[in-house]
Amino acid sequence: MDASESEMMMKPIGGYFEWEFPQLRDFELHDRSVLLNSGRHSLEYILRGLGHVKKLYIPYFTCEVVLQPLTRLQIPYSFYHIDENLEIANQIQLTDCEYILYTNYYGIKDVYVADLIKIYGDHLIIDNAQALYAPSYAQANQFYSPRKFMGMPDGGIAVTNFPSYAEDLPLDESWNRCSHLLKRHELIPSEGYMDFRENSKKVAETALRRMSELSRHILQSVDLDAIRSRRLANFNKLHESLGSDNRLSIPSVDSFACPLVYPYWTDDADLKKRLISNNIFVATYWPNVLEWCKEADVEYQLTSNTVCIPIDQRYNQEDMNGIIKIVRDR
């Protein structure tokens, strides 16, 4: 067997079929994208790349997983408050090697992020985990979580203002973290929820790596324009009916690229239970905030009283009408 024959034999031919993905194309939402294995790992990638972070300011209103890379890298941090507009309550003065993390809440704060760029420049890290379509900026560092917008076993995206070092990272494997995705096709969500939690835990416990081939193929096969269009249409439908009763000030719907959910701040204490009892599963962002904050704090009120209504691409205007009816039937 000569060398050329040996090279041909290295690629398996035949056997059973793998999961096929149509229309594979480059991911073009963000220039300079570094595809990694989760949003929190994307934050870690940024912090490692900066290499000289003496302190990071983070919002009280955030998921506790943000603390994981800070703990791993032994980076000191301080919390700050936001106001009812989901904006920084008191401007923070940063010194050398200090950075501030701001969350693009629900994917509706694109304009405010642009304002923060003018204030903090390259000392701003933008948490776009809830804002996959939000623009990236050359001045700042930002990270995204496509898993919140489509079914993927792992996946995060970092867009940085420093040279990529991703080629030094191992490639993740996610074949053993797909059970919740498969169950979601054939079972009701509750029957795959424990799998979802267990597989999310596996991702969290994995080291920083490049995005798995499976997740990259999923990301490259979905119709990103169709996802965005459907989400915006569903958001608009809910806002037209519920906006006047929403305590949360929603920016003009043409001011943000694509929302994650419709955030509905309400005094209807039974709404979450009513929706869930009708098989409309609403997430709480974020239970840890109730431990970090006092009842009088805006963050505590947002966590307790904001109902995050699904608007994703699986649903249409008829589905939104059904949700509106449940909200109205108090």
pLDDT in the model for residue 293: 98
User: pTM of this prediction?
Assistant: 0.94
pLDDT in the model for residue 19: 82
pLDDT in the model for residue 129: 98
Residues 33-221, CATH architecture: 3-Layer(aba) Sandwich (3.40)
pLDDT in the model for residue 18: 83
pLDDT in the model for residue 268: 96
pLDDT in the model for residue 2: 56
pLDDT in the model for residue 296: 97
**CA 223 to CA 258: how far, in whole Å?**
14
Contacts of 251 (CB under 8 A, 6+ apart): 108, 109, 111
Return the axis-axis angle of helices 189-205 and 179-186, rounded to nearest 10°.
170
Contacts of 104 (CB under 8 A, 6+ apart): 110, 113, 126, 127, 128, 130, 131, 134
Bridge partner list, 264: 307
Contact between 260 and 109 under an 8 Å Cβ cutoff? The reply is no
pLDDT in the model for residue 9: 64
**All structural domains of the chain with their residue ranges:** 33-221, 224-328
Ordered mean pLDDT values, 10 residues apiece, the chain (330 residues): 56 82 81 95 98 96 96 97 98 96 98 98 98 96 97 96 96 94 89 92 93 94 95 98 97 96 97 95 94 98 98 97 94
Contact between 94 and 123 under an 8 Å Cβ cutoff? The reply is yes
Nearest in space to 217 (alpha carbons), one of 17, 4, 27, 11: 27
Nearest in space to 37 (alpha carbons), one of 155, 207, 193: 155
Q: What is the DSSP string of 81-111?
A: -B-TTSSBSS-----TTEEEEEE-GGG--HH
Residue 52: alpha-carbon gap to chain centroid: 26
Bridge partner list, 59: 80
pLDDT in the model for residue 28: 81
Topology of the domain covering 224-328: Aspartate Aminotransferase, domain 1 (3.90.1150)
pLDDT in the model for residue 287: 96
Contacts of 321 (CB under 8 A, 6+ apart): 237
pLDDT in the model for residue 81: 98
Please name the amino acid found at residue 249. S
